[in-house]
Structure 1
Amino acid sequence: MKQYILILFAGLCGFTFCHLLQAQVQPETFVVGDALPDAPELSPRGTYAVGVQTVTFVNKGQVDILKSKEGSEPKYDRPLKVEIWYPATLPGAATKLVSYESVLGRSNDPKRPIIPFNFTGRAVRDAAPNTKDGTFPLVIVSHGYPGSRYLLTYLTENLASKGYVVAAIDHTESTYQDLSGFQSTLLNRPKDILFVLNQLAELSKPKGKHFLSGLADASNTALIGYSMGGYGVLNVAGAGYSSQLTTFFTNMTGGSKAIEVRTSQSPEYKASMDSRIKAIVAFAPWGMERGIWDSEGLQGLKTPTFFIAGSQDDVSGYEKGVKAIYTGSVNADRYMLVYVNARHNVAPNPPPAQTLQPGMTMDEYYHYAEPAWNERRINNINQHFVTAFLGIHLKKQDFQKYLQPESDTTKPWPGFKPRTSVGLELLHDSPVK
């Protein structure tokens, strides 16, 4: 009897019925940012459909530091491509997947040629924005050196699905495709972030014709930065650079002191503090081990800040690097999530499938991967904590419990499934009075 039933079922599979059955039971392909079975409570995507569009801004008349010489600082118009994710309204039949175009390699390294690749996200290109739920807080994302606006799509899409407008910058001369001298990144990173904030604020004004009009609330903004992006967002938020950076920069550029405008003693820097910025997330911010900040500069950071670091970071450093920034930022209400035994890659998407192909070097794989951690797991944990932190400061949501881990190590942290809050530390310090 059993054999007859199996034969009958096999016969049925010759018809369309079999294909229908397979479609019902076959699991959906994993997409960057999807929640794993052990993902913390706030990790999964929110209720909003997500749209995505690309815009380009041009910051005119900027110092062309790569062509500067002692006594001469030529100017150029600096283009910045920005990817924007936002809550969207979709027709019933619309697909919710998008293909992103990125590259591996380095434009300035013949040993690491540029290799284009595509990967899938959960968004709809040029979808109509959701205009019925009012304005949404703005989040600006700054990548590392090198990087791209697509380096953290697991997080940018996730936040958009939870009711944020999220803008990720391609920093000119700092991406895989146009990688140039480091002095450009040192000078332009915070300036790019402020310029983009101002451009988005202008486009978001009500009654305009841009898709952002009436959609983003630039007066309620958070900044997220990874590595050199962390270097940038901390400076924008109040951590003025040290005089040692001026010396370092001047030696690198053959005499230019253009970086002085972002140092803690600069009147121009002090005047640039922006009350629209309500919260900062700094992944593995670079610079402390190089003397980029001193005690005075770090005391200028007063914006609530969430640091995320690996305890074995060998790029930004940990004890004398990220943790030293955290410790020295005495006037900010601040947290630091530590991935124990992780190195520097505590922020990006998982390694693209292309990095696993035969002949691909370890360099491309390890631009994304962590030796002691599953990158998808890191992504989920980051989604959870960034959702909690930004929810508190930009949406006034009651998420404080998620930032108060259990002192009893046998119990899971709030929002974590049993046995999963291991390998993590969460520090918190209030501002001095």
Structure 2
Amino acid sequence: MKRFLQMATIVVATMASSAQAQNYQTGLADLTIADTAGQRDLEGFVWYPTTETEELSEQHSNQVWAGIKAIKDARPAAGQHPLVVLSHGMYGNAMNQSWLASALAQRGYVVAAINHPGTSTWARDAEDARQMWQRPKDVSRVIDHLLATSDLSEHIQPDRIFMAGHSLGGFTAMALAGGRYDAKAFGDFCDGRPGELVCGIFANWNVAQTPDDIATMSADLSDPRIKAFAVFDLGGTQTFSSESLGRIKTPMLIFGAPRDIEATGIDLDVESRALVAALPKPSVTYLEPANLAHFDFLGECRPNGLEILKQEEPDDAFICIDGATERRALHAMIIDEVAVHFARQ
């Protein structure tokens, strides 16, 4: 009977998502959140449902990346809508999951993403990168702003807030869910695996290298307003204490990406699979499609995007391998899974 009820919930959620996708276009607006101390201003975008249909145009595109269709500064659809906050990966940016944000907006969600200072494409300041604890705080600031002072405040359901993160954004998600940094356990792990990707990144960025930084990094950075998470091929599982992960009951949709792991250095056995093993089983849905690669969570590449990268950025060209038709199909699957996961809550 329980299994039947679960399946019925999924069917209803899927039908609801499909119906919403037919009702809305994507509205798009710039997002700016000033820091009163002037130290960490945040900039990004917010995607939201609109019933307007005029002035639909391509956004967030260039010669390499396909964009989305959206209406700039459109009037939001009437009523209140769930909120999703996205967090990009290392040296990514707020446009990386624009494909997901637009699809969720068409299903009735307000979606926000910002460029994390220090770890984004155009902001790589070493001092900002060192303060890794600021990443989850950035997400909480986005929620604060959108609920209280933005033009969309009256259109957001405060009891239906969700979050999704890719790669380092997945680390950010787990901190917001209640994962607590464990300096000793992480140090022991890195001593035994000196070539591990996250160990090298944290060392290069001087993350948690002083007693004060360790204390700040180890604090509770969770945000109980977030009712469910989607985690996309994260890095950083071993930074969290197993005890804190074992206490997380918030529903989790976790994707592991097994294809082309030699290009990223992300070992699923110490990342996504280890995370799933540490979390309470009732809270987790784990998916590991054999054809899913780490950079399939970025946007869809244009047909000639791979050739452009081979000529202009050859070291990065691999991010567009199978990045057009194949990635489009994976995006459709991810969108459906995320929409159903959030609609269940």
TM-score (norm 2): 0.79
**Aligned residue in 2 for 1:301:** 248
Does the residue aligned with 1:340 lie in a helix, a strand or coil?
A: coil
**Which of 78, 84, 92 is 2:40 aligned to?**
78
Q: Deviations over 1:256-280 (max 9, x none)?
A: 63253342xx4xx1xx543321100
Does the residue aligned with 1:95 lie in a helix, a strand or coil?
A: coil
CA distance in 1, matches of 2:214, 2:33: 22
Q: Deviations over 1:309-328 (max 9, x none)?
A: 11243433212211100110
**Aligned residue in 1 for 2:224:** 275
Amino acid at match of 1:296: E
CA distance in 1, matches of 2:185, 2:27: 40
**Which of 150, 153, 157 is 2:95 aligned to?**
150
CA distance in 1, matches of 2:41, 2:291: 38
- The structural deviation recorded for 1:239 is 1.6
Q: How well do the aligned residues superpose, as a CA RMSD in angstroms?
A: 3.0
CA distance in 2, matches of 1:186, 1:136: 30
**Which of 145, 151, 160 is 1:220 aligned to?**
160
**Which of 252, 270, 274 is 1:324 aligned to?**
274
CA distance in 2, matches of 1:273, 1:257: 19
Larger helix proportion, structure 1 or 2? 2
CA distance in 1, matches of 2:240, 2:120: 25
CA distance in 2, matches of 1:245, 1:202: 39
CA distance in 1, matches of 2:293, 2:212: 33
Amino acid at match of 1:261: T
Indicate conservation of the 8 Å contact 2:25/2:70, yes or no.
yes
- The structural deviation recorded for 1:377 is 1.6
Alignment of 1:173-184 (within 5 A): 173-181=118-126, 183-184=129-130
Amino acid at match of 2:275: I
Gaps of 5+ in 2: 1-13, 188-198
Q: Which has the higher contact order (CA 8 A, sep 6+)?
A: 2
Indicate conservation of the 8 Å contact 1:235/1:262, yes or no.
no
Alignment of 1:189-208 (within 5 A): 189-203=135-149
Indicate conservation of the 8 Å contact 1:311/1:318, yes or no.
yes
* Alpha-carbon distance change, 154 to 189 in structure 1, aligned in 2, over 3 angstroms: same
Amino acid at match of 2:29: Q
- The structural deviation recorded for 1:142 is 0.4
Q: Who wins on radius of gyration, i.e. which is larger?
A: 1
Does the residue aligned with 2:56 lie in a helix, a strand or coil?
A: coil
- The structural deviation recorded for 1:362 is 3.5
**Aligned residue in 1 for 2:301:** 351
Provide the aligned length of Structure 1 versus Structure 2.
Answer: 309
Does the residue aligned with 1:151 lie in a helix, a strand or coil?
A: coil
Indicate conservation of the 8 Å contact 2:60/2:98, yes or no.
no
Amino acid at match of 2:41: P
* Alpha-carbon distance change, 185 to 143 in structure 1, aligned in 2, over 3 angstroms: farther
**Aligned residue in 2 for 1:49:** 25
CA distance in 1, matches of 2:242, 2:73: 45
Indicate conservation of the 8 Å contact 2:233/2:294, yes or no.
yes
- How many percent of aligned residue pairs carry the same amino acid? 23
- The structural deviation recorded for 1:118 is 7.1
* Alpha-carbon distance change, 350 to 166 in structure 1, aligned in 2, over 3 angstroms: same
* Alpha-carbon distance change, 229 to 369 in structure 1, aligned in 2, over 3 angstroms: farther
Does the residue aligned with 2:133 lie in a helix, a strand or coil?
A: helix
Gaps of 5+ in 1: 1-39, 62-75, 103-115, 204-209, 394-433
**Aligned residue in 2 for 1:163:** 108
CA distance in 2, matches of 1:374, 1:117: 16
